[in-house]
A and B are shown apart, each in its own frame.
Chain A
Amino acid sequence: MDLDDFKEDWSKDTIIYSRPLKSLQPINGTSSIVYRIRKHIRNDFLKMTLFYLLLLLIFILRSQTALSLFLISLITFLLLVQGALYFWRFFLFYKKLLRYDLSLRKSLRRIAYELEINIELYRNMVYCAVPLTSLVLIGLIGENSILTFFRQLVLFPSPLTITGLLPPFLWVLILQIIIYQLLKWHIRIHYTRYLNALNQILEDIDREA
């Protein structure tokens, strides 16, 4: 038995498609790579916006000095704008991907190329946002905190000494490393693995015959 023996069966394998069924609303969630990435990006954008808006609100309600309110609101606003610019870029990327009628190789190349650029942009955006967000959080928790630890993080010891500065610096560094690792994991699970899957298919297509 070989492939050509099935050709006749294949062509005779007809289906009767006359009866329209019930409405397609709602249909099951879609599962293509592009839709999944879009879903993750949309969720990330919503979570990020909510997070920063919540921070702003807390600051406005809790801030004790006008200067801290101004500085931290400004940083939060900048983070929001930075995030919005990235997500706008991604929205344009997604719109471009709606063409599925190109050849398989061309279509996948385009998705993989654009996706790689967008993952890098996303990585840069979140990596730049982390230190600023950490500062905002430390400021938020530290300014009004009754905990000595947080107060020490915000109000550096006086007079300033290397040994006095070391503990808060170390804490900030550890916090950064933990957040970076979490983000790396998040990007790998939600984006990079799809890119790897696309690259694997492209490798199969490009494999020399």
Chain B
Amino acid sequence: MKVNAKMSCTKQSRFVELLETHVGILHKVSRLYQDQKEDQDDLFQDIILQLWQSFDTFRGDSEFSSWMYKVSINTAITYFKKKNRRPDRQVLPDTAILATESRSSVEQEDRMAILYSALHKLDKVEKALVFLYLEGQNSREIALALGISAVNVRVRLTRIKTKLKTILKSMGYGS
């Protein structure tokens, strides 16, 4: 019993530690897939919950961030906006929700706001592609995360870039 409790505690602290290092991914995914702050917070929590429940499947043979990309995107894509907000009985590690404080400058934040506004006009799969691309993943890694071919990734990315350019132009950021 004591051994189990100790193992559970170790698992929890390891999870929180890894989460703290990579939690920026969650912030970005939530902001990418939801436009309202309240929905972003809910999705943020949902992804943490899913990461915690799937944590046993992380064996350490790949980067934690790569594993986190998959779980986060899979969760965000199958996420529905809430109609009514009620408390849930689901329990997570006590420290698994974290304060977020942006370090970005005002100018940078403005540019990010423009980018997110444009990205919200893409469909869910396009968002996933752009997200992984901006995170610095190469075509092969993106292909692995999404389950499509690397060639397909490259072609789609080219199309999405053109589409985004048009969107940004229509928003008044043409040059």
Contact = CB atoms under 8 A, between A and B. Distances in A.
Contacts of A24: 45, 48, 91-94, 96-97
Interface in A1-49: 1-4, 6-7, 9-34, 36
A100 B24 contact: no
Contacts of B28: 10, 13
B98 A20 contact: yes
Contacts of B135: 10
A15 to B, nearest CB: 5
A205 interface: yes
Nearest to B109: A13
A21 B41 CA distance: 14
A96 interface: no
Contact of A12 (B57, B108, B156): B108
Contacts of A19: 98-99
Residue among A14, A25, A30 facing the most chain B CB atoms (10 A cut-off): A30
Contacts of A3: 130, 133-134, 160-161, 164-165
B42 to A, nearest CB: 5
Of the four ranges (under 10, 10 to 19, 20 to 34, 35 or more), the interface on chain B belongs to 35 or more
A74 B3 CA distance: 48
A99 B54 contact: yes
Interface string A105-127: 11110010000000000000000
A36 B91 CA distance: 17
Contacts of A103: 70, 144-147
Given A2-B164, A6-B134, A21-B98, A14 B92 contact: no
Interface string B66-90: 0100110111011111100111111
Contact size range, A: 35 or more
Interface in B95-146: 95-104, 108, 111-112, 114-115, 123-126, 128, 130, 133-136, 144-146
A10 B146 contact: no
Given A28-B42, A201-B77, A105 B146 contact: yes
A12 B168 CA distance: 21
B151 A209 contact: yes
A92 interface: no
A189 interface: no
A138 B57 CA distance: 52
Nearest to B103: A14
Contacts of A34: 78
A33 B81 CA distance: 10
Interface of A: 1-4, 6-7, 9-34, 36, 98-108, 111, 194, 197-198, 201, 204-205, 209
Closest CB pairs A-B (n = 3): A105-B147, A103-B147, A26-B87
Given A20-B95, A104-B125, 7 more contacts: A4-B161, A9-B108, A28-B42, A29-B86, A98-B53, A204-B124, A205-B147
